[in-house]
Structure 1
Amino acid sequence: MPDHDEAAAVRPLTLAWVGRHLGAGERIVGTEALHGGITAETRRLTIGTRDGGTRDLVLRTFVDVEHAEDWLNGEADALNLLTGTGVPAPGLVAVDPAAAHCEYSSLLMTHLAGRTVLDDEGLETRVPLLAHQLVAIHALRPAERPREYVTLATADTVVTPKSADVAAWAAAIDVIRGSVPPYEPPYEGRFLHRDFHPGNVLFDVPPAWPEGARITGVVDWVATSWGPADLDVAHCSTNLALLHGPAWGLRFAEAYEEAGGVPAAAASERLYWRVRDGLAFSEEVQLVSQPWREAGRTELTTQVVEQQLDAYVTALMDAPG
């Protein structure tokens, strides 16, 4: 039976649009709101097939979100590019970036097995898997490069937490006041996910064998771009630090290199990107921590996450080399 929960309900025009992209004899028999994202409404659609079986699709809708058209065009391009690469990404079914048919900009894609895992248990296994997956993404060399990366946070937009180590934060802010490290020859850009973190990676974890975890999918490709590998490394590191503690943020950078990843050669450049990403989180701690609480990490209050962020920024500034 269809799920009539308000959060799961699909708007009429969007429902009709989805229907036009189903196979003969198929219909939507159930919907479920998927939580964890910040900017998009995400729903799993259960599709009844003509042989009496079912299959799942995923619908992403951006409601009154600036740049939604550009983002969905970018995600559609990325999903098409990723087909056949070995990177476990959804397949594109249809996209309506300008909301020509739907109430809001929408994208329909295949559903991937697995689930996000944000618990502390099993991190020793998952962190190397995340690192290897990111190396595989960075190894892609598309015939046509995606758009250039964008960074929005600046030294002037940082919000220093009330209980922060003021000296460490002042030093960190000074780091990102400097010039942006280059990455064109003799440096090399990489294909970037640009929002790679545990919340956008799906795992299959055997209940009785956490060490047997494997990655089944990487989702949310709206920000795909081209730039220095350290951008993705830094972003995942910050997320791990806020979810699991500063040591795991530092550990991910090591795991990335152990997996064959190639960050910037100069320690100052690696520090620049890691500090810049950490400081960027200072502007939206409440926003990024809410989905984690909804996913079951209820102890990650805004205050706790701010403390984790302070500890991580301080650790970056204290780390040798």
Structure 2
Amino acid sequence: MTGQLEVGERVVRAEALHGGITAEMRRLTIGTRDGATRDLVLRTFVDVADAEDSLNREAGALTLLPGTGVPAPGLVAFDPTAAQCEHPSLLMTHLSGRTVLEDEGLETRVPLLARQLVAIHALRPLQRPGKYVALTTADTVVTPKGADAAAWAAAIDVIRKPAPPWQGRFLHGDFHPGNVLFEVPPASPAGARITGVVDWTATSWGPADLDVAHCSTDLALLHGPAWGLRFAEAYEEAGGVLAATASERLYWRVRDGLAFSEEVRLVAQPWREAGRTELTTRAVEKRLDAYVTALMDTLR
């Protein structure tokens, strides 16, 4: 591994962290030479085709972020090709806080999420990460059972067209509530604050709309379509700049919404494990249908 623990340190405890889809995450408690402990987080990719690229992107981001004001883990070590580890891995510092997926306090957290994303997009790295990749195509969309067929057909037609022109920004690539850590005072959800942004494996260069669209879809599926529509407004209220025309903004939001159609089951499972047991695959499909329909009704 490029980098290592300090001399005399040892792993005294390992705890699996839940919520991820592609990587195995562990919280490692490290015993130090003076008898104290510190916590690190180990990301491990097992049988993931793009593990090397993902870990290189995350390592690059974690190297860039210190001193920028964006709260992110510190890079400790990484081995993207499994030259020294059993599997491609990255070791980083542990941040305080927790993910918050419940509805309570959402009206406070959405503006915080928006302001944090604006700050990420304001970064201007000397070396840009790779260009964004959009894998979803009109032919791979999975229309949910019972969905509004006319709305989905119109949405699919939207992404048949070439991507609109865009101004490049530094993108997180997977910005959503599950990758943001909060500290929330027990007696005052309105006093929530962000303590960290994690999972930088999809960092890329592309339109701000892409990150905004992704978080919007997540919010729509977690909390209802109205919150998905609200996030773009919050982003602009925080000083963020989106595509110039409604049709251009619609393209990115529809593209991201349709991308979720291909992986509803994978997305819903971690949410249920985190306590949102009502978010069955079918329930999430219904919210996705409602969100895509709302996009086509209100943003054309």
Q: TM-score, normalised by structure 2?
A: 0.98
Query: For residue 81 of structure 1, what is the aligned residue in structure 2?
Result: 64
Query: Do 2:246 and 2:299's aligned partners in 1 also have CA atoms closer than 8 Å?
Result: no
Contact between 2:250 and 2:299, CA under 8 Å: does it hold in 1? no
Between the aligned partners of 1:191 and 1:293, the Cα distance in structure 2 is 31
Match status 1:41 vs 2:20:
no
Q: Is the 8 A contact 2:159 2:255 kept in 1?
A: yes
Deviation at 1:320, TM superposition (A): 4.5
Q: Which residue of 2 aligns with 1:9?
A: none
Tell me how far apart the structure 1 counterparts of residues 173 and 278 of structure 2 sit (CA, whole Å).
27
Amino acid of the residue matched to residue 297 of structure 1? R
The question of 1:208 aligning with 2:191 is answered no
Question: Distance between the aligned counterparts of 2:111 and 2:13, measured in 1?
Answer: 36
* Matching of residues 305-320 of structure 1 within 5 Å: 305-320=284-299
Written as runs of structure 1 = structure 2, the 5 A alignment for 1:165-180 is 165-180=148-163
Moved more, 300-309 or 174-183: 174-183
- Is 1:121 the counterpart of 2:107? The answer is no
1:249 aligns with 2:228: yes
The Cα offsets for residues 265-291 of structure 1, whole Å up to 9 and x where unpaired, read as: 111010000000000000000011111
Q: Secondary structure at the match of 1:140?
A: coil
Q: C-alpha offsets along residues 169-196 of structure 1, whole Å, 9 cap, x if unaligned? A: 011111111121111xxxx210000100
Aligned to 1:267: 246
**Aligned match of 2:85 in 98, 102, 123?**
102
Unaligned runs of 5+ in 1: 1-16
| Contact preservation (8 Å) 2:79, 2:85 | yes
Q: Deviations over 1:12-38 (max 9, x none)?
A: xxxxx69x8222322111111000000
Q: Deviations over 1:129-154 (max 9, x none)?
A: 00000000000001111111100001
Structure 2 residue aligned with 1:220: 199
Q: Partners of 2:165 and 2:138 in 1: how far apart?
A: 18
C-alpha distance in 2, partners of 1:304/1:173? 22
Instruction: State the one-letter code of the partner of 1:118.
Output: L
Match for residue 25 of structure 1? 8
Cα offsets for 1:66-92 (capped at 9, x unmatched): 010111111111110112111001110
What's the % identity of the aligned pairs?
Answer: 81
- Aligned residue for 1:231? 210
Kindly indicate whether the alpha-carbon contact (under 8 Å) linking 2:268 and 2:279 is maintained by their aligned counterparts in 1.
Answer: yes
Aligned: 1:62 with 2:45: yes
> How is 1:279-290 mapped onto 2 (pairs within 5 angstroms)?
279-290=258-269
**Aligned amino acid, residue 292 of structure 2:** V
Match of 2:116 in 1: 133
Q: Could you say which residue in structure 2 is the equivalent of 1:294?
A: 273
CA distance in 1, matches of 2:149, 2:249: 22
Provide TM-score, normalisation by structure 1. 0.92
Give the equivalent residue in structure 2 for 1:7: none
Q: 1:51 and 1:95 mapped to 2: Cα distance?
A: 25
Structure 2 stretches lacking a partner, 5+ long: none
Q: Distance in 2 between matches of 1:138 and 1:271?
A: 20
> After the TM superposition, which parts of structure 1 deviate over 6 Å for at least 4 consecutive aligned residues?
none
Three-state SS of the structure 2 residue aligned to 1:33 is: strand
Q: CA RMSD in A?
A: 1.1
Mapped to 2, the partners of 1:250 and 1:150 lie a distance apart of: 23
Mapped to 2, the partners of 1:22 and 1:103 lie a distance apart of 17
* Matching of residue 196 in structure 1 with residue 196 in structure 2: no
Stretch of structure 1 that moved more, 227-236 or 24-33: 24-33
CA distance in structure 1 between the aligned counterparts of 2:245 and 2:260, rounded to whole angstroms: 24
Q: What is the distance in 1 between the residues matched to 2:117 and 2:220?
A: 17
